[in-house]
Structure 1
Amino acid sequence: MLSKLWLHLKRYKFKYITLAVLVSAIIFAKEVLIDIVYIEKQYEKNRIITPWGEKIKSGNLSVDYSIEQALTDIERLGLNTVNVPVQIDIPSLTANAAVINEESQKKAIELIKKLRLRGINIILEPYPYIRNGELYETQLDPSNKNEWFTNWQEGVLSPLIHDIAKPYKVYALCIGSNFDKFEQESNYWTNMVDFVRAVYPGRITYKTNWWYTAEWDTQKNGLHNTYTAKLNNPVLEKVDFISVAAYFELTNQDINTVENLVSALYSTQIFNRHQNVYAELKSLSMKWDKPVFFGELGFPKRNKGTIHPWDPEPSNLVNEQEQANGFQAYKEVFEKESWILGFSVFAIGKDDEFKNYYPSDQSIRVINSWYR
C-alpha cells in the first residue's frame, strides 16, 4: 500500500514539475519574443531614410574606448551605427602572425550587447595593432603573403564571425583596413570575400586608404597609378559597399573657411594638384555600381588640420573650428549624393588630451545635423 501511494505521489510530483517547466518555458519564450520585437523596433527607429536612400551615420571607436563614453557619444552625435574595433596584435611590419586580443574581444561583445538593445547597427572591424600600436597598418608588409592571408582568415576573421558577427547579427564586417602595401593582392582578397560570404550573412566591406592625384602629373607610373589601381581592384566588385578612409589633403592654408574647403574637394589646392576628390570617388562608385562609405572621416583639432588630415598633430595650435569646417564641407558636398552610403566619424569613445580627432563641440553640432 505504501509503495503504491509513493508511486502516485511521484507521478503527481512529476506532472507538477513538468507543468512548471512548461510554464517557465512559455514565459521565457515570451520574454525573448518581446526582446526581439523591441530590438527590431529600435533598429527601425534608428534607420536614416533620406530622399537619396538609406544612410549610415556612424562613429569609429578608439581602440581604448570606454563603453560609457561610447554610449554617450552615440547619443550626442545622433548615430545609428558604430564601428566597433577588435584589437588584432601584430608584432612587426613584416610579421605573418595576427592574434585576436582577448580583452578587446570581450569588451567589444559587452558593448555590442548594449548597442543591440538600443537598435544601433554594428560594423565590426579587426583593427591591426602593430607593435603595441606604435606602427601604422598602412606600412604593414608581411614577408610571406600566403601565410599572412591564411592566418588572417583562420585566426582572425573566422573566430570573429563565429563569436561575434553571426551570434550578434552585426550589420557589416570590414575584412581589412588600409593595407596599402598589399591591397593589390587581388586573388587573396577576392578569395577572402568568398570565404566570408559563405559563412556570414551580413554585409561585407573593405576599407581602402585615401590617395592623391595631380593634373600636372603625366608620367606613366606617376601619382594617378595609385588611384587607377584602386579603381580597377576586383575585390571591390565582391564587397557590398566600398569603404574609404577619407584623409584627403585639401588646402595649403593653416585656417580655412567652409567655402574654401568645399572648393578644394572639387580641386585640391595643395601643391597645385587640382585633384577632384568628388569626381574620383564618384567614379569609384560608378565603376563597380557600389555605394561609397566614408569608413573614416576625421580632422585633428589643429591649425593645418585640413592640409594633412591623416596627421594627428599637424600643428601645436588648437583650432576646434577648423575641424568643424572640415566636417561641414564634406556635409555640403556629399550629404545629398545617392551614391554615398554615409560616414563614420574618426574617432569617438575616448576623450582626453591625446585624442586630437575627438570631435569638438562645434563639430558635434555639424555631425548631429547631418541626415537630420
Structure 2
Amino acid sequence: MRFKIVVRFLFLFFLLQSCEGQNKKINGISFVASREEATQKNIDPVLNINANYAAVMPFGFIRDLETPEIIHNTDRQWFGETRAGAKQYIELLHKNNIEVMVKPQIWIRRGEFTGYLKMNTEEDWQALQKSYSSFILEYASLAAEADVAMFCIGTELEQFIVNRPTYWKNLITEIKKVYKGKLTYAANWDEYKRVPFWEQLDYIGVDAYFPISENKTPTLEESQQGWKKWKAELKGVSQKVDKPIVFTEYGYRSVDFSGKEPWVSDHTMRDVNLEAQKNLTQALFNELYKEDWFKGGFIWKWFIAHERVGGNDNPMFTPQNKPVEEVIKKQFLSSQ
C-alpha cells in the first residue's frame, strides 16, 4: 500500500513539473549591439527584470534597396555587430543562465524598410542570394559553436521571400546542416500569414507591431479589446501550421498614440506618454501569456548601458528606467 502511495505521489509530481514546463515562457529582451564589450554590470539589469532569454543581434549592411551586397563582420562595425562581439555577449549571457537567440539583421542605408529589399535582374538576385547565404551561415556557425537555444534565419524580408521562395527553403536545409537548435524567422506583423516555409522551422516568429488602439492614451481595457482579433488570427495560423508562436520583437514607444501604428520609430513623435506604453504592454501580457500556443517573446529593445538610457522623458521603445519596466519584471517573474 505504501509503495502505491509513493508511486502515485511521484506520478503527480512529474505531471506537475511537466505542466510547469509547458507554461514556462520565453521572457526575452532584444540586447542591442554596442561599441563596447558587455560586462556583468550590463547583465545585472537583465537579471533584475527576470528575463530568461536575450536576442543577440549582429548586423549586416546594404547600401540601398536594389544593392545585392551585404557587408558584414568587418572592423568598421561596432563591436556588438560583429561575430566576435556577438560571441562575447553570448558567453556572458550564458554565464548568467540566460538563453540566447542569435538574430542576424540587415540595416539598409537611411533606415529603409528591409521588407522592400528587391532586385531588378536575375543576376542581382543571384548575387543577393550568395551574399545573404554567406551572412546568415556565418552566424548559424556561431550559433552552433556557442550552443545557443535558438537561431533566427532572417528579419522582415517579405519581398526577398515572395520572389525567391525556393532559395529560402534550400537555405533552411543548409542552415540545418550547421546548426541543430530551434529555428525561427522574424516576420513582420502583416507578413507572417504568407510565409511559405513555417513547416521547416520550430517557431512562427512575429515582429508584433499590430495596431491596437487609435486613442492617445488607450486604457488597459481598450488595449485588451484591441488584441482580440489579432489573437484569434495568430491562434488560427498556429493551429493551421501546427507550430507555436514567438514574438521575435514586441513593445511600444512611450508616446501619445503608441498603439495606433506601433511600428513607427522615427523621431517626429516626441510627446512622452508613459501610461500608454504601460497599458499596452500589460494588455499584451494579459491577453497572450495565458495561451498555450504563445511561447513568449523578446522586448524591443534593451540597451547595454542601462543607467544611461530610457527614463521618464524618453519617447522611444526601450522600457528601461520607465514605469513599464516594473510591469515587465512582474510578468516575467510569474511566467518563469
Q: TM-score range by the shorter chain?
A: 0.7 to 0.9
1:116-195 paired onto structure 2 within 5 Å:
116-131=94-109, 134-143=111-120, 144-153=124-133, 155-162=134-141, 164-184=142-162, 185-195=164-174
Match of 1:114 in 2: 92
Residue 197 of structure 1, aligned match among 152, 176, 183: 176
Evaluate the alpha carbon distance shift between residue 233 and residue 89 of structure 1 in structure 2; reply closer, same or farther with a 3 A threshold: closer
Contact 1:65 1:349 in 2 (8 A): no
Cα offsets for 1:121-179 (capped at 9, x unmatched): 11001110212x632322322343332122211x21222223x2111101111111011
Contact 1:327 1:363 in 2 (8 A): yes
1:1-372 paired onto structure 2 within 5 Å:
50=20, 52-64=22-34, 67-68=38-39, 70-102=42-74, 103=79, 104-105=81-82, 106-131=84-109, 134-143=111-120, 144-153=124-133, 155-162=134-141, 164-184=142-162, 185-211=164-190, 230-231=192-193, 233-266=195-228, 276-312=229-265, 313=267, 315-350=269-304, 351=309, 356-359=316-319, 360-371=321-332, 372=334
Cα offsets for 1:56-104 (capped at 9, x unmatched): 1111123447624741331232111100000112111111111223332
| Separation in 2, partners of 1:338, 1:323 | 25
Give the superposition deviation at 1:287. Answer: 1.1
Evaluate the alpha carbon distance shift between residue 356 and residue 196 of structure 1 in structure 2; reply closer, same or farther with a 3 A threshold: same
Return the letter of the residue paired with 1:53.
N
Give the superposition deviation at 1:348. Answer: 0.3
Contact 2:269 2:315 in 1 (8 A): no
Give the superposition deviation at 1:250. Answer: 1.5
| Separation in 2, partners of 1:51, 1:63 | 31
| Separation in 1, partners of 2:252, 2:277 | 5
2:48 is paired with a residue whose SS is helix
Once structures 1 and 2 are overlaid, which stretch shifts more, 306-315 or 350-359? 350-359
Give the unaligned 5+ runs of structure 2: 1-16
Contact 1:52 1:337 in 2 (8 A): no
Give the superposition deviation at 1:314. Answer: 6.4
Cα offsets for 1:275-308 (capped at 9, x unmatched): x101111111111110000111111110111111
Evaluate the alpha carbon distance shift between residue 331 and residue 263 of structure 1 in structure 2; reply closer, same or farther with a 3 A threshold: same
Contact 1:236 1:288 in 2 (8 A): yes
Return the letter of the residue paired with 2:27.
K
Once structures 1 and 2 are overlaid, which stretch shifts more, 241-250 or 63-72? 63-72
Match of 1:6 in 2: none
| Separation in 1, partners of 2:18, 2:105 | 27
1:370 is paired with a residue whose SS is helix
Evaluate the alpha carbon distance shift between residue 278 and residue 357 of structure 1 in structure 2; reply closer, same or farther with a 3 A threshold: same
Give the unaligned 5+ runs of structure 1: 1-46, 212-225, 267-275
| Structure with higher RCO (Cα < 8 A, 6+ apart) | 2
State how many pairs are aligned. 297
Give TM-score scaled by structure 1 length.
Answer: 0.74
CA RMSD across the alignment? 2.3
Evaluate the alpha carbon distance shift between residue 251 and residue 134 of structure 1 in structure 2; reply closer, same or farther with a 3 A threshold: same
2:317 is paired with a residue whose SS is coil
Contact 1:305 1:314 in 2 (8 A): no
Contact 1:61 1:85 in 2 (8 A): yes
Once structures 1 and 2 are overlaid, which stretch shifts more, 179-188 or 328-337? 179-188
| Separation in 2, partners of 1:74, 1:231 | 32
2:145 is paired with a residue whose SS is coil
Contact 2:30 2:299 in 1 (8 A): yes
Contact 1:56 1:343 in 2 (8 A): yes
| Separation in 1, partners of 2:263, 2:148 | 28
Give the superposition deviation at 1:257. Answer: 0.6
Contact 1:253 1:304 in 2 (8 A): yes
Give TM-score scaled by structure 2 length.
Answer: 0.82
